[in-house]
Amino acid sequence: MNAATFVRSWPSAAAWGAGLIMAALGAGAIVGSDSGAAARGLGVGLVGLGLASLVWGAATLSAGRLTVPRIALTGALVSLVATAAVLFAMPARVSVLAVFAGISLIVVVGASAAVHLRRARRDGAASPAGKPMSVIGLLVAAAVVAVVVTPALNATQGALLLRDDGTVPVISHNH
């Protein structure tokens, strides 16, 4: 197993993590108590981008190569702008940690797509055949993404539930 085989599955795992964070941020923007029309519209877009990211990650892992890299790069750029924009649309109800984590994962996907396109242009191959991926690489990628995404999703919920006095209500599930 070489380094390329080890990291080949990382863009798909990063896409899944970014997709989950974008969907959570979008859902929060849609249902937020102080969300305006712009925030809700941005939320719908983020949910759509999050779902598209999940589908792209699955297709990429299934194919063993980056699928539709031009669309992936465009999606990554749009996702970067939309994820940053939700922070400005709802500054009091969006977690900076979640936005940073989402953007970090989106950058991995976008950089991977850009490198793939650059290599394809240099080598003259439009769509190279799928190459083997490492199961250990996928497990490491999944663990890293879980370590990044889990606190980001928690922070997303905490930011949405934040009261005006700076406290977060305790939700009990005793019933």
Residue 32 carries which DSSP code?
-
Burial class (CB in 10 A: 0-12, 13-18, 19+), 81: exposed
Cα separation, 127 vs 130, in Å, equals 9
For residue 164, is pLDDT > 70? no
Are 45 and 26 spatial neighbours (Cβ–Cβ below 8 Å)? yes
Give the global pTM: 0.85
- Residues 149-162 have pLDDT tens digits of 988 988 887 777 76
Return the half-sphere exposure (C-beta side, CA atoms, 13 A cut-off) of residue 7: 5
Contacts of 87 (CB under 8 A, 6+ apart): 94, 96, 99
Torsion region of 114: left, alpha or beta (phi above 0 gives left; psi -120 to 50 gives alpha):
alpha
Q: What is the mean pLDDT of residues 27-45?
A: 88
For residue 126, is pLDDT > 60? no
